[in-house]
Amino acid sequence: MVLESKNIMNQLLFRSQLKKNLLSWKLVVIVGVSIGLVILEQKTTNNWHLVKSNNFLHYVVLMDKYSLAGVAYLLVLPILSALLGGTIYSGEFHSGRIISLQARLSRREIIKTISLSSFILGGIAAVIPILGSVPVAFVVLSRFDFISGNSNFSIFESNFWGYSLYEHSQIALILILLGLLFIFGGLVAVVSTVISFYTKIKYIELLLPFVFSLIWFLLVSAIGFPEMGHIVFLDFPVSSGFPNVDLYLTVAYFILAIGSVVLITRKERNDDFA
């Protein structure tokens, strides 16, 4: 029996999990998907040189509402985050390494460390496709002009919730949007990890977030509220056309975060790893 430690997490285990997953085949898959999204962006958007809309964001995945890449990215986002960040505990359990961890660390340390690792890795997976498309976009169109939300080829429309910041600093807005994507990806990965805490079926933690998010989006779209799904409220250039998007975004983050914390706390107090 391992005595309960006062440490919230184990730094050595945390660094080991980050390193192992960032050097694994999972990252190769995510990079491959990102390359595919960049190609899709270039193939399906407008020729912005011809229309003289001079901002490289027109060629960045998700920042360009005229291509198919943004929707494709949002569809696969739950899988990408779950793959890199949400499969950590399942891997430890099915490989038998969880037993050796129990011999050295308290249950609380293991659960908290795995959950934090999941969040960080899930966030990284979420932003890789966006960051990967930035240098390509800038090579294709090396301009960063401000484009009004009232123009024919706007990037963000004037009724977008972040438009005031966009007017003052495009870079600040982009960093905030990347932060929101990172947090969403991290939360999805934590949800995947929580799923693996409560079921021992292999790969279920990888598939359930994607299946649930897709079913949820189809359901809310069928009743006339597609903006309640992440495919709309995270599609920032498009979301301005829908009401209360900022509210639904906030509520979704809150539910994911609180739900994960409650279930993680329950696992710490009541369950073992058997």
pLDDT digits (tens, 9 = 90+) for 200-256: 888 899 999 999 999 999 999 999 999 999 999 999 999 988 988 999 999 999 999
Q: Model-level pTM?
A: 0.92
Segment 162-167 shows an average pLDDT of 94
CA-to-CA distance for 67 and 59, rounded, in angstroms? 9
In this structure, of 92-101, 156-165, 196-205, the range with the lowest mean pLDDT score is: 92-101
Residue ranges of the alpha helices (H) in 64-169?
69-85, 88-95, 97-104, 107-140, 163-168
φ, ψ dihedrals at 116, nearest 5°: -65, -40
pLDDT surpassing 50 at residue 22: yes
pLDDT surpassing 50 at residue 3: no
What's the confidence (pLDDT) of residue 6? 52
What's the confidence (pLDDT) of residue 2? 41
Q: Specify the amino acid at residue 188.
A: V
What's the confidence (pLDDT) of residue 266? 87
Cβ neighbours for 164, distance < 8 A, ≥ 6 positions apart: none
**Highest mean pLDDT: which range of 49-53, 66-70, 89-93, 100-104:** 66-70
Segment 5-12 shows an average pLDDT of 70
Segment 28-47 shows an average pLDDT of 96
Neighbours of 239 (CB within 10 A): 23
Neighbours of 108 (CB within 10 A): 18
Alpha-carbon dihedral sign for residues 104, 106, 111, 117: negative
What mean pLDDT, rounded, does the chain reach?
A: 91
Segment 2-11 shows an average pLDDT of 59
- Using pLDDT thresholds of 50, 70 and 90, give the confidence band for residue 271: low
Q: What percent of the chain has pLDDT over 70?
A: 95
Segment 98-106 shows an average pLDDT of 80
pLDDT digits (tens, 9 = 90+) for 50-84: 888 899 999 999 999 999 999 999 999 999 999 99
Segment 154-158 shows an average pLDDT of 92
